[in-house]
Structure 1
Amino acid sequence: MKKIIITILIVLCIVIAGTSAYAYHIIREPLVENYTEASNFVTSNELLQSIDSVHYYHGTTAHYVVKGLDEDGNEAIVWVKDDFETVHYRKASDGITYEQAFSIAERALGERQIEQIRLGFTRGVPVYEVMYNEANQRKGYYYLTFDEGAFIKRYSIRNITG
């Protein structure tokens, strides 16, 4: 009887793990397809010659942020709205770097621990979104313009995992 229960538990664990992996794949598949579509859109419109990375950003509107090299070999960034109707192009040298964004945010946020910095698009401008932890179990977001690193907004939400 003990062997049967153990066998059933092992099979149940395998089924749950398999179902979870399958569900994750099914849920993630449209996003991966859209990454490919965004990459193809950017290269077919000759905005970038080669692509280094693509990520999805959902702020006030959803955008694909595509980094790569333009026709002159310069690093460039393209923000493509998720409907593929609106495109914003900037050379990486036209804005502040990740390191500069980190430095600006670090000075502004003081002792708070910066968790992540990523490019996004909000209020009609390219931005750096800085995610940080507050001392009171809150997750904070600090937004800087990509072009000159000017403060746009800051807000925090309660961290439900903590």
Structure 2
Amino acid sequence: MKKWIVIISILVVIMIGLSINVYLNATKPLKVAERKAEQIALEHTSLVSYNDFNVYNGSTSYYVLKGNNDKGEKIIVWIPEKEGKILVKKEEDGITKKEALQKLYNEKDPQEVLSVRLGMENQVPLWEIYYKTENNLINYYWVHFESGEMLKDIQNL
């Protein structure tokens, strides 16, 4: 009986170790991208600190950082993954995540919102809302960051 407990304990420890290894390897590219974006933003913009990072994968991939500039203002920095112009906007010059979601709820009836993230398409900053409808169909809804107008609505994927 004692032998089985030892064997099971060893197997559990091995499984936990393998799970941790898989998780760390899966998140490594995102951490590398975040460090790259942070370095670029600190060198080429007035960003001095950030509290939020995400990767937007549209027609062009962008790194998006939300933080503060050297004047203490809240800013958002869009950095193209490969090449292109870095865009910096004051957070107050656009709509909030909550306002973008309200726009969706005013026009659609989402069953579940899966994610809301900042992105960029054709040099236009936007909020991308990824949601499901009652039939479990996937939908994308893009809201212009500055005006709050709907830019694109992709339904029933």
Superposition TM-score tier, normalisation by shorter sequence: 0.7 to 0.9
Displacement of 1:27 after TM fit? Answer: 2.8
Residues 110 and 131 of structure 2 are in contact (CA less than 8 Å); yes or no, is this contact kept in structure 1? no
Question: Which ranges of structure 2 fall in alignment gaps of 5 or more residues?
Answer: none
- The structural deviation recorded for 1:35 is 0.6
Tell me the distance in 1 between the aligned counterparts of 2:5 and 2:156. Answer: 43
Q: Does 1:68 align with 2:67?
A: yes
Q: For residues 3-152 of structure 1, what are the structure 2 equivalents within 5 Å?
A: 4=3, 7-83=6-82, 85-110=84-109, 112-152=111-151
Against the structure 1 CA distance between its residues 103 and 17, is the aligned structure 2 distance closer, same or farther, given a 3 Å change threshold?
same
Q: Supply the distance in 2 between the matched residues of 1:70 and 1:126 (Cα, whole angstroms).
A: 19
Q: TM-score, normalised on structure 1?
A: 0.83
Q: Where does structure 1 lack aligned partners over 5 or more consecutive residues?
A: none
Identity among equivalent positions (%) equals 27
- The CA RMSD measured in Å over matched residues stands at 2.2
Deviations 1:79-108 (A, max 9, x none): 101125431111112211222112111101
Amino acid at match of 2:135: N
User: Relative to structure 1, is the Cα distance of residues 156 and 16 closer, same or farther in structure 2, using a 3 angstrom cutoff?
Assistant: farther
Asked if the contact 1:106/1:114 (under 8 Å) is kept, the reply is no
Equivalenced residue count is 157
Aligned partner of 2:85: which letter? T
Aligned 8 A contact 1:47 1:78 in 2: no
